[in-house]
Amino acid sequence: MKEDMLKMLRGNVGDRVIEAMERVPRELFVPESIRSLAYEDHPLPIGEGQTISAPHMVAIMCDVLDLGEGMSALDVGAGSGYHAAVMAELVGPEGCVYSIERVPELVVFARRNLREAGIKNVTVVEGDGSRGLPEHAPYDRINVAATAPEVPEPLKEQLKVGGKLVVPVGSCYQELVLVIRTEEGFELEHHGGVVFVPLIGDHGFKI
């Protein structure tokens, strides 16, 4: 089943992303009762009303972000920890990933899954990721796995020059937006329609 998933992704995203996903055991990042569904290409429930994103969406976001060896990355919305694990494989042992999650139960879930998968270069932090994680900024790359009303300003400010941020933006209609920080300011690229749960926080949606 894992091979079928990788076959479906080949040709659509770069080989480095495929190889990273090949190394991460996705079945360890879903609740035990649904492990048999781990390689199906759709989101799955992980508890607390949240989901692990579909494999193709993780692949596309990692591809758009173009993560390189040794980079420092921030992942907003740790959920199960799977997306952060794939990012960790892409930045390699010299790189590091900070993954922030607002739901305490999912912080515990993500940490346990990452530990069981043997992923060592991800630090899971509890908090409001719409504010970023300024104590470890600036970042080469920022991934946001929940939709925001607009690109959160603190995340833009926590990018290095040359850094990239990928974030779904919108509510009814959502679009994947890539922000690139340049010497002069910020450039935006649009990468098509997506469906994500809301980013809830100071610079996201309010509850």
Minimum distance from residue 90 beta carbon to ligand SAM (Å): 14
Token pair in block for residue 120: 């060592």
How far apart are alpha carbons 129 and 33 in whole angstroms? Answer: 29
Amino acid at residue number 191: H
- By the rule CB under 6 A, 100 interacts with ligand SAM: yes
Minimum distance from residue 82 beta carbon to ligand SAM (Å): 4
Residue 53 annotated as catalytic? yes
- Given the complex with ligand SAM, which of 67 and 103 has the nearer CB atom? 103
Q: Which listed residue (61, 72, 74, 102) binds ligand SAM by CB under 6 A?
A: 102
Residues 165 and 130 sit within 8 Å (Cβ to Cβ): no
Window contacting ligand SAM (CB under 6 A); options: 76-84, 132-140, 161-169, 171-179: 76-84
- Nearest to 97, CA basis, from 72, 120, 117, 118: 72
How far apart are alpha carbons 204 and 132 in whole angstroms? Answer: 11
User: Which one-letter DSSP state was computed for residue 78?
Assistant: -
How far apart are alpha carbons 129 and 152 in whole angstroms? Answer: 10
- By the rule CB under 6 A, 180 interacts with ligand SAM: no
Minimum distance from residue 184 beta carbon to ligand SAM (Å): 29
Q: Which of residues 120-179 bind ligand SAM (CB under 6 A)?
A: 128-130, 145-146
Token pair in block for residue 60: 């596309």
- By the rule CB under 6 A, 83 interacts with ligand SAM: yes
How far apart are alpha carbons 53 and 105 in whole angstroms? Answer: 18
- By the rule CB under 6 A, 88 interacts with ligand SAM: no
Residues that bind ligand SAM (CB under 6 A): 50-53, 76-77, 79-80, 82-83, 100-103, 106, 128-130, 145-146, 196-197, 199-201, 204
